Each structure stands twice: as C-alpha cells, then as structure tokens.
Amino acid sequence: MATDPAKLSYEEARNELVQVVADLEAGTATLEQTIELWERGEALAARCEVWLVGAKERLNKAKAASGASDAVAVESAEPTDA
C-alpha cells in the first residue's frame, strides 16, 4: 500500500510524482491503473504545493524579521541632535 502523501517529505513526494508522471507518459497502464496513477499524482502534487507554500511563508517571515532588525540597527546608528 502506498504511503499517505501527508506523511511524505517534499523530496519524497516530488520523486514519487516524477515516477507517476513517467508511468502515465509510458501509456502502458490500463484505464483503471491510469485513473489510480492520476489520483495519486494529484495527491502528491497537492502535498508538494503544501510544502512549497510553507517554505515561502518561512522565507517571507525570515526576510521580514531580517528587515526589522536592519531597521532597528539603522535607527540606533543614526546620530541624535543634542
């Protein structure tokens, strides 16, 4: 039985998706197998999307945090009029 896509890492899901696409492109599967492959491919693609969206959010947070710390550093470096 195939692993639940929700339990796969991005790399595992991507690699299996590549194999599913190759199997579909080979054109040797029966109609029933083709449908099962298509459904598996859709689930794997959705899993990859979840990972990619999560990674993008993490990068955006890191960039925002970096920008905020840069702004604090710039403010503290500015001379004050005394």
DSSP 17-37: HHHHHHHHHHT-S-HHHHHHH
For 55-66, the pLDDT digits (tens) are 999 999 999 998
The pTM for the full model equals: 0.75
Q: Tell me what the pLDDT averaged over the chain comes to.
A: 88
Model confidence band, residue 67 (pLDDT cutoffs 50, 70, 90)? confident
DSSP the chain: -PPPGGGS-HHHHHHHHHHHHHHHHHT-S-HHHHHHHHHHHHHHHHHHHHHHHHHHHHHHHHHHHHHHHHHHHHHHHS----
The residue type of 78 is: E
Q: Where are the domains of the chain?
A: 9-73
